[in-house]
Amino acid sequence: MAAKNIYDMTEGKPTVLLFNFAVPMLIGNLFQQFYNIIDAMIVGNYVSANALGAVGATGSITFLFFSLSFGLSSGIGIIVSQYFGAKDDENLMRTIANSVYILFVASLIMSVIGVVLARPILIALKTPAAILEDAVIFMQVTCGGIMAVAAFNGVAAILRALGDTKNPLVFLILSCAINIVLDLLFVIEFHMGVFGVGIATVISQALAAIACIIYAIIKIPYFQIPREYFRIDKDILMKSIRIGIPVALQNSLIAFSCIFLQMIVNEFGEVVVSANTAVGRFEQLVQQPFNSLGAAMSTFTGQNIGAGKLERVKKGLRSGTMMCAVFSLIMLPVAYLGGGVIMRMFVDDVQVINFGAQALKITSVFYFALGMIYVIRGLLNGAGDSTYAMMNGVVEVIGRVGFAKPLTMIPAIGVWGIWYTTGVTWCLTAVISIIRYAGGKWKRKSLNYSVKMH
């Protein structure tokens, strides 16, 4: 099959391919984070600093509930990329067809659990009383919209697996624009508070999902699937689950570790919660080039392993590492020296600004380690190394759970142990990822390992 927007990464220079793939995705991610920043600015300035803290306090928890559909989407994308590289059109289309059942069931289950258990979970996490009610509302609304998020991410993951990052970008930009307009309308005009912010997010995601699905069916031949391919295929379902569940568990474990760290943050009160939220919003922006590069590495690896081109995967890693180093060196002085200016974008509370600026001085020196996690994670996940996915999640749990409390209990470190824990966890995870890659087991994880690698 051939289509204008499908991008074969099994031929050509790896650096150029990775760059061309990553840039549209980066633009989309930046728009998404731009929305998150605008969202935080609207909440922090037009509702209250406590409302900003409430939104931030649910971030890791909602990510935990979203992680199953995110992981399954990634697993489906990995399978699609490998079948695409192997030129196996029939199994590729069967995978897309069966992904509908997987994502629907997973998102429905997690949505119901998230809505029902929002309050008890937030209470168990010692969410400060001043922000508890807003946090419950925001979590229930966003978890109620998991199905819309899963639909968009599922289709986008498949398009990216086929090398198409430009069109998911268009729909993501559309979603962000709608989100910002609805935020302003619901919060400033209708005074709906964090409930309005949550509803705006769900509506915009639903519209993006619908538009993306319509586009894919009309324009991408692989989505023009014969009816018989929609029969449940146990082999494809098991492959999707075998790869997708470990990635989902990886995300869940990372989310769990962040939740544990959020518990430590909550113990220091509203000011530190708000500062940590603002720092998190900025560092989500910093992570987007790394995230985009990691996604490019995943598709590049999946397609080339599917085609049996192992040496190209290694060349791709060298290119990815170089790109990661360049961006890390650019962002270090921005975050280290400009922390006060960055924090003022979110809040006008002097204490929050001072805490956040100092926190950025700590975490910014670890940005290269953070970037390498994304690069190697993208490669190993693209290869279908499900064992690594679990290892990655476990290591992040060990880092945040193992260091957070002890570091904050050291008098000379105190509250700053929160952000030292983040940096140490990034370094530990990067080292384990490099060790896993060097071990070489990822070379035997392809769906078509019987194909001779060369």
Asked if residue 393 belongs to a domain, the reply is yes
CA distances from residue 352 to 52, 274, 356 in whole angstroms, order as listed: 12, 7, 6
pLDDT digits (tens, 9 = 90+) for 233-280: 888 888 888 888 888 787 778 777 877 888 888 888 888 888 888 888
pLDDT digits (tens, 9 = 90+) for 387-399: 787 888 889 888 8
Does residue 273 contact residue 355 with C-beta atoms inside 8 Å? no
Indicate the pTM of the whole model: 0.74
Asked if residue 4 belongs to a domain, the reply is no
Asked if residue 5 belongs to a domain, the reply is no
pLDDT score recorded for residue 449? 45
Asked if residue 111 belongs to a domain, the reply is yes
pLDDT score recorded for residue 454? 37
Token representation of residue 39: 């969202």
pLDDT score recorded for residue 290? 92
Token representation of residue 359: 């926190």
CA distances from residue 336 to 25, 361, 365, 366, 415 in whole angstroms, order as listed: 26, 4, 8, 11, 18
Token representation of residue 407: 């570091």
> Which among 204, 41, 48, 240 has a CA at the least distance from the CA of 131?
48
Neighbours of 258 (CB within 10 A): 22
Tell me which residue range forms the domain holding 329.
14-444
pLDDT score recorded for residue 320? 93
pLDDT score recorded for residue 321? 94
Residues 6+ away with beta carbon under 8 Å from 248: 67, 68, 69, 70, 71, 72, 75
> Which among 219, 278, 178 has a CA at the least distance from the CA of 2?
219
> Which among 41, 415, 66, 27 has a CA at the least distance from the CA of 254?
66
Asked if residue 2 belongs to a domain, the reply is no
Asked if residue 452 belongs to a domain, the reply is no
Q: What percent of the chain has pLDDT over 70?
A: 96
Rounded Cα distance between 81 and 211, Å, is: 23
Number of compact structural domains in the chain: 1
| Residue type, position 249, single letter | L
Does residue 98 contact residue 240 with C-beta atoms inside 8 Å? yes
Asked if residue 1 belongs to a domain, the reply is no
- Residue 452 is classified by DSSP as P
- Residue 453 is classified by DSSP as P
Q: What percent of the chain has pLDDT over 90?
A: 28
Q: What's the mean pLDDT when you consider all of the chain? A: 85
- Given pLDDT bands bounded at 50, 70 and 90, which one contains residue 53? confident
Given a cut of 70, whether residue 447 has pLDDT beyond it is: no
> Which among 258, 277, 257, 259 has a CA at the least distance from the CA of 269?
277
Q: Is 120 exposed, middle or buried (0-12, 13-18, 19+ CB in 10 A)?
A: exposed
- Given pLDDT bands bounded at 50, 70 and 90, which one contains residue 453? very low
Asked if residue 450 belongs to a domain, the reply is no
